[in-house]
Structure 1
Amino acid sequence: MPEYIHGGDVYSHAERYGSLPLDLSANINPFGIPERVRQAMHAAVEDCTRYPDPFCRAARQAIGRAEGVPPDWLYCGNGAADVLDRLAAVLHPQNALLTAPTFAEYERTLAGASITFHTLREEEDFALTERLLADLTPEREAVYLCNPNNPTGRTIAPALLDEIVRRCAQNGTWLIVDECFGDFLTDSAQHTLRAQLGTNPRLILLRAYTKMYAVPGVRFGWCMTSNTALIEALYRAGQPWNVSVIAQACAAAAAEETDFARQTALRIAAERQRLRQELSVRGMAVCAGEANFLLFRAQDTALDRKLAAHGVLIRSCANYRGLGAGWYRTAVKTGADSERLLQAIDEIREDG
């Protein structure tokens, strides 16, 4: 089988140890699926005797209302990764700019393109700085940014992001901004580019309900752009039934949630601060993340494997561009989950 490079592979752990672990390798909301969403998915089982709506009409209507954009500006897919594949197939950029480290799926979908990697620096706490502007040259056909970034958790300063948007528009460059973790920010409205969609047809925003609504097994993501010709092309870029009946019902219900995300973001922010301090006390170099995960460096380059033996999974970031052995990412979940992680780290240190 091919190598699996993401978090969330609890199946391998169960196969090896005979039990499911505490999974901190995937950044899923620990407070579970909202009841409205759960009920909608259960009710949708009765509709599985029909093909899914190939245009996700109900989901797009609900998301459009929630996001304040026309439904025709939305394209829905089988998770954000599916949308990324279609974007690459349609845009087919020959020259692209990515940051490093960042989400690996951008690079995977751009196979065959000439990619320039803008390295985020540890001494700058992996913040995206104005150094990026020098790389925004006219030959760039596409720029991919993750805000907040995965795995660093850092957001882009709004003023800098506005300048990036301006320069990409000036150069005729496609700007794809992944806002999938934006819901976990306590000041999310300060960081979204949604208001700029109408004036920039080469701006594309990527979103998903996977993490916030704890439904990674359902698979639903979408992109937003005012470029309706691009939306039409995305429909033609693959099979027509890529979003299941249950996933569409899940999305329509999630879009109607009003306070769940805000309350989650506040609770996660408090726990993130506490966990960051506890990891620092234990000698870890912890990045000042703002989402529902933390990137940290440990002296122990086998920490992930040792924690797995204790029934706790974290994400090794050794295979991220710009990082290496000893770098890890842990989800921020409940206080009890943090305590279990910290206790396992303490036991490993005691064992030498």
Structure 2
Amino acid sequence: MLKHRDHFHGSDLEKIEEIYGIKKEEITSFSANVNPLGISPLLKKNLSERIDAISTYPDREYTSLRKCIAAYCGTEYENIIVGNGSTELISLFIQVRHPKKTMILGPTYSEYERSVSLEGGTSLYYPLKESDQFMLQTEQFIESLNESIDLLIICNPNNPTSTAICQKDMRKILDACKQYDIFVMVDETYVEFADNYAQINAVPLTAYYNNIIILRGTSKFFAAPGLRLGYAVTGNRDLIDYINTHKNPWMINSLAAAAGEIMFQDDDYIQETKRLISSERTRMLQFLEQTPDFHPYPASANFILVRIKNSRLTSELLFDRAIREKMMIRDCSTFPFLDNSYIRFCVMSPEMNDKLLACLSRN
């Protein structure tokens, strides 16, 4: 198992407050990758009217919520499983599948490897190469697959690289995995932020392949990490039945279920989020491309991975510089295959983006 150094997660503002003496309420987190618009206005307006929901047990089947999610992502509600955040669903799925050997595209989110390890399995990383701009070379990757692998885990778009695999290439991967009896878990936490969502979204593939499960949540796009509402999509009904017999009967509370039904229908908020992230991501990339100290990589998610080209700068130094100005970025030296010449930060409001770029590019 790869060793991951201690680091500040986007939710670790209490640690920052203790170490730097800066009140957490004053810190803008460019590390948490959360929608800068905050929660859905429709949710703010209407959730209080559903407060009586907590006086009764949730529907064991969460039928109304699952129908809202299905309409939102374009599938049948019978293909939906809901859970207490996507992280819980990652753990639940791995517990159910109990893979002995898992391949993970890296660098990526460390929770995948941790969950596999807790179930007694081992993980093998397939590294995305900097020389390829961290874009997966599908044909080369397929050649690395074999019958000893039980599970393949793909974050798409990937964290922290922000690169994505298109649906056409995902089909090729699924076909190859079929030959070796490999199940594929695709984490689409950030897919809704992508300009080319229709080309990346793998949900349509669940209608044709029974060896894929897709995980999503509401923490990032819907700015609701405290709600702990996630969902999975798969066309494998046998897998759904098996998971349902092994999970807790009420995985999310009544208020979270009601909130989900509201936010997935807030189309104005959804479209405004997409417009803001798209325009600001483009603007930030253009700025960084013209800055000699940095090399930004192609970004599909709401964050940008940057290589530091100036030998006098490090990820630790830039993290420290930004936090002293009450902005928190991600030092990427803790990710497998990256070192202290990489940082990651998400797209926030235009004003805060300008402030961060000025801070990072200052001589």
Inter-partner Cα distance in structure 2 for 1:270 and 1:345: 20
Determine whether 1:90 maps to 2:99.
Answer: no
Alpha carbons 2:79, 2:234 under 8 Å: kept? yes
The CA deviation string for residues 109-138 of structure 1, in whole angstroms up to 9 with x for no partner, is 101212211011111100011221112212
Which residue identity does 1:257 align to in structure 2?
A: D
Match of 1:220 among 229, 240, 253: 229
Inter-partner Cα distance in structure 2 for 1:139 and 1:346: 47
Inter-partner Cα distance in structure 1 for 2:178 and 2:169: 14
Alpha carbons 1:186, 1:266 under 8 Å: kept? no
User: 1:123 maps to what in 2?
Assistant: 131
**Aligned residue runs from structure 1 range 239-258, under 5 A:** 239-258=248-267
Determine whether 1:301 maps to 2:315.
Answer: yes
The CA deviation string for residues 48-75 of structure 1, in whole angstroms up to 9 with x for no partner, is 1223333322210111222332222111
Match of 2:280 among 264, 271, 274: 271
What is the RMSD of the two structures over their aligned residues, measured on CA atoms? 2.0
Determine whether 1:188 maps to 2:212.
Answer: no
**Relative to structure 1, is the Cα distance of residues 276 and 58 closer, same or farther in structure 2, using a 3 angstrom cutoff?**
same
Determine whether 1:292 maps to 2:302.
Answer: yes
Match of 2:23 among 18, 25, 33: 18
Tell me the secondary structure at the aligned position of residue 318 of structure 1.
helix
Inter-partner Cα distance in structure 2 for 1:282 and 1:273: 18
Q: Greater shift after overlay, 91-100 or 195-204?
A: 195-204
Q: Greater shift after overlay, 150-159 or 214-223?
A: 150-159
User: 1:60 maps to what in 2?
Assistant: 66
Alpha carbons 1:89, 1:237 under 8 Å: kept? no
TM-score by length of 2: 0.90
Which residue identity does 1:324 align to in structure 2?
A: D
**Relative to structure 1, is the Cα distance of residues 159 and 61 closer, same or farther in structure 2, using a 3 angstrom cutoff?**
closer
Tell me the secondary structure at the aligned position of residue 233 of structure 1.
helix
User: 1:197 maps to what in 2?
Assistant: 206
% of aligned pairs identical? 26
**Relative to structure 1, is the Cα distance of residues 204 and 8 closer, same or farther in structure 2, using a 3 angstrom cutoff?**
same
Match of 1:75 among 57, 81, 89: 81
Structure 2 stretches of 5 or more lacking a match? none
Inter-partner Cα distance in structure 1 for 2:116 and 2:24: 37
TM-score by length of 1: 0.92
Inter-partner Cα distance in structure 1 for 2:227 and 2:174: 32
Q: Greater shift after overlay, 285-294 or 45-54?
A: 45-54
Which residue identity does 1:329 align to in structure 2?
A: R
Tell me the CA shift for residue 282 of structure 1: 5.3
Matched residue pairs, number?
Answer: 347
Inter-partner Cα distance in structure 2 for 1:249 and 1:40: 10
